[in-house]
Chains A and B, each alone.
Chain A
């Protein structure tokens, strides 16, 4: 066990960039998928186009994408941008589908009630549709994030640094410990981020679990300043 103590700095730096490369595409993918899915949900022609289009995207092998993207984007082959863009494409492939399902899972009676109350279309989207779509949407986001964390490693093959670098480097220099550390930290990262999302989801969907009175709103309701 000599590799780890001597390379803590490297491990920390690679974990950081790994995290960045996995999380940023999820954020970008969400920003693109949500409006796309909202337009597709309930639309007779746009829905099949986006759903099938997204499924098609997912069939592109990741390594191909990593190699082809620099040609399209004009980036260096080892640029981090290639990984970010490639993974964003995969996130969209997963999220367009689950976000469309999410918007379609919202009870039409609730939407109608919101309209009848006098919400404008924009107000209704932010105040009613989006919050109510969260539970189904979140399942897709968790899948996408975990998939990303494993997929970022592939970038190491073409020279983009990540925890995958420990794997390629360890393999080349025959350091079993380096490989093992890379695998373990990747798995821990995946489990950790998934739990963070799960907890965030629980917080955003408190209303879904009956039987428990929300003490915070209750305090607010009685005007408790404490």
Chain B
């Protein structure tokens, strides 16, 4: 209609500027500085254009700027595909579109671009604050879109209208969210151009690497146990196993996908639980020792660690079972045992001497050597601390006999070294120990500061036996938590401190909310959808029947709405309908009818603007006025009006 080529009013200009600002401000943290500055300049330019009523920049300049912006993005990334370059291009386009707001069509295009950039935010984060911010931006953008059609209401009225419309759309959104067939896979199936550094365990361990993690209270994963939560001291979450030692650091040496199923037999009562793993960029999945079942699309490594087929780059949920008392590796392959005995040629002579003495005393009796090693650790009165002193070349000797202060990786490394020196196969296992039950929703939350390292020794006939040397010196670390285990006065992650009860309570609640969001909104996957539909009585729905149900539902709603609109439309006075055709025809000639203008007033104005048709226009307007406002409209007048308008070709 005529509205699409109406010039952009200053109020519309301000609305679009607000939209552009709201859509691009949250993205600035992901944008390079030059682009933020350029976009800011364009916004300021737009503000000046609107405020001072300047002329728009010439088209060739805008085209040049578009080329320059695209080139800038390309030069930065050597591509214009992918997440960040794509978003940056959109920001460039949005900023420059503001400089060519000529007609109402441009305002609509800009508002739609604004909506698209709102989606862009979700490519970076999908947290609740992001969603709230996006809601606000959508509100502003919708108001701008409304203003594109009718800019007369005041800003807050416009916002209220937009809010009302969005509220009306909410049920449809929820319906589609719940019922629309879900696709397996991450929310955004686009190539990740870079995986941002995420804190978490790595595949090597050297003195200090886990202590570093202990300063982070980021969540590693959440666990929901089917029954009761096992005792704290049994919560060993198996992570990367590290048998290779080069004198300073430990490394993994895994045969990926060695076992498609669990190779050992279960013992004792199984524990069922569900893990929601935060993305960490690695392949491994954490499982309570010892894993009894495997999550889908995963396999067990040669050292019994579950490994996913793809790196965990989005939140992953899997159900698992554990056999806390399983015996693994009774008949271990010689290669693995050889690896678990290898030591560097020299270094740490004092430990080697003691180990040699055990060997001489106990011979092949692994269990006895193990007991001797535990005894040594107990005798040495080692101190568990987050700030161990730096170690020189013989890290095991220095830790055990000189400094006697260390974190779990020192304990585990020294213990494994001592066992190996005494001829007992042993290896370091990294992972998490413990966790904290959130009383609000009952989830066990495992954070980065729960990272831990322990030892595994192979005893003939008993297979791999877990020994936690840290527990020998600092039993509270295992039975309670980190804060209770380290000496008073050491700097702890903020959230582990126990003396802020209200803060803890607040954190529990916030965490429960975040978890609910993760579980039910972000983690609403095909499985969840199936469960929910099953609880609604739709058993085993497949894609086809769900699509059919949705189509029928959506079709019915649309039909009802269309019918309602059509009925309203049919009620329109035929004279008014004819008048609208007439004004639309004149609008194409550049004589736009204002919706508040009376027929005669408009006819006079139109006659002045189109003197050639003055008589016709006046006649049509008079006919229409008589029909619509006259005392006894004659049917013949309506026929004449229609004929006149049909013949009217300005």
Q: Do A and B come from one complex?
A: no
**Chain A residues close to B by CB (< 8 Å):** none
